[in-house]
């Protein structure tokens, strides 16, 4: 497998940093991976290691995150989906399966709605199509807490939210990596990304989905609970639903084997 790191500038001049894991075969399917709030493409490292012989894999940092540009502006799931569409054009990809975790799942839904011919399949992980009527205030309150306490003041909250009990002690390196990415966030970009999630309502896209869809959720996820995954599954007739025993909100890090398995099954369904 050949790994290529690169970057490109979007139509509004935001640099997007990405890694392309070249496929072992030109016939291999293509897969794009979209990370969660305040983290970066590294959340997929475990799953990529399991899938690298099955697909050509694109992992990238959303705007405002990781090594991509950090413009201070209003963010939306549709804006992030447009960034991914332009990245596809940059790579000369006419389509791919898109897997997204948490915020990335919202971006994947927006991508499927805006670019139905490019979305060969969707894997919606630990996410929701709408976080409810109180979400705009709740997510803005979280950004306000970060401003008051600093990003470091949220670490204990985040680790409990991300990982099941016992995982931090048994996998300290994985937790340290996620924590270091979280602490490196630009506050204004974090606040804009929180607002993105609070305002996201992707429900109107779902009836138009014709591509295969896999919905995946950790059994213990209380950030995007099983009930939200069930609502997604029920709204998309051609979807499957997988509840990962013992998983919490960042199953790509905590449960990479299971996530890779669900993505591989979706790739099979897309032919």
| 219: exposed, middle or buried (Cβ count in 10 Å: 0-12, 13-18, 19+) | middle
pLDDT of residue 123: 99
Tell me how far apart the alpha carbons of residues 39 and 125 are, in angstroms, rounded to a whole number.
Answer: 15
CA 271/CA 135 separation, integer angstroms: 37
What residue ranges do the domains of the chain occupy? 3-269
Q: What Å distances lie between residue 87 and 37, 120, 126, CA to CA?
A: 19, 16, 24
> Contact at 8 Å (CB) between 181 and 37?
no
Given a contact cutoff of 8 angstroms between Cβ atoms, the answer to whether 129 and 201 are in contact is yes
Total number of residues shown for the chain: 271
CATH of domain 3-269: 3.40.50.1820
* Residue showing tokens 């290529």: 4
Which of 62, 147, 58 is CA-nearest to residue 96? 58
Put the strands of the sheet holding 15-21 in their side by side order: 3-9, 15-21, 56-60, 30-34, 96-101, 119-125, 213-218, 239-244
Distance CA 173, CA 165 (A): 16
Mind listing the pLDDT tens digit of every residue in the chain (271 residues)? 699 999 999 999 999 999 999 987 888 999 999 999 999 999 999 999 999 999 999 999 999 999 999 999 999 999 999 999 999 999 999 999 999 999 999 999 999 999 999 999 999 999 999 999 999 999 999 999 999 999 999 999 999 999 999 999 999 999 999 999 999 999 999 999 999 999 999 999 999 999 999 999 999 999 999 999 999 999 999 999 999 999 999 999 999 999 999 999 999 999 7
Q: Is 204 exposed, middle or buried (0-12, 13-18, 19+ CB in 10 A)?
A: exposed
> Strand, coil or helix: what is 168?
helix
**pLDDT value of residue 96:** 98
Kindly provide the residue ranges of all beta strands, DSSP E only, lying in 145-238, ordered along the sequence: 213-218
| pLDDT of 162 | 98
Q: What pLDDT does residue 39 have?
A: 98
- Exposed, middle or buried by CB within 10 Å (0-12, 13-18, 19+), for 165? exposed
At 1 the pLDDT is: 67
Question: What distance in Å separates the CA atoms of residue 14 and residue 133, rounded to the nearest whole number?
Answer: 31
């Amino acid at each position: 497998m050949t790994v290529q790191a690169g970057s490109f500038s979007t139509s509004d001049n935001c640099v997007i940093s990405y890694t392309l894991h070249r496929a072992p075969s030109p016939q291999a399917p293509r897969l794009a991976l979209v990370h969660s709030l305040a983290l970066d493409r590294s959340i997929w490292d475990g799953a990529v290691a399991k899938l690298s012989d099955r697909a050509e894999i694109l992992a990238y940092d959303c705007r405002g995150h990781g090594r991509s540009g950090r413009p201070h502006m209003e963010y939306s799931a549709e804006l992030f989906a447009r960034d991914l569409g332009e990245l596809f054009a940059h790579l000369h990809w006419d389509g791919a399966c898109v897997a997204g975790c948490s915020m990335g799942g919202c971006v994947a839904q927006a991508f499927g709605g805006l670019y139905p011919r490019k979305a060969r399949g969707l894997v919606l992980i630990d996410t929701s199509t709408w976080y409810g009527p109180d979400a705009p205030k709740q997510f803005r309150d979280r950004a306000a807490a970060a401003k008051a306490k600093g990003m470091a003041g949220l670490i204990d909250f985040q680790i409990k939210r991300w990982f099941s009990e016992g995982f931090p002690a048994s996998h300290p390196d994985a937790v340290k990596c996620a924590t270091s990415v979280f602490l490196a966030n630009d506050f204004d970009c974090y606040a804009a990304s929180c607002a993105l999630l609070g305002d996201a309502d992707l429900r109107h896209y779902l009836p138009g989905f014709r591509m295969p869809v896999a919905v995946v959720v950790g059994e213990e996820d209380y950030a995007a609970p099983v009930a939200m995954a069930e609502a997604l599954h029920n709204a998309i007739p051609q979807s499957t639903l997988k509840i990962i025993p013992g998983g919490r909100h960042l199953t790509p890090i905590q449960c990479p084997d299971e996530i890779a398995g669900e993505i591989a099954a979706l790739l099979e369904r897309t032919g």
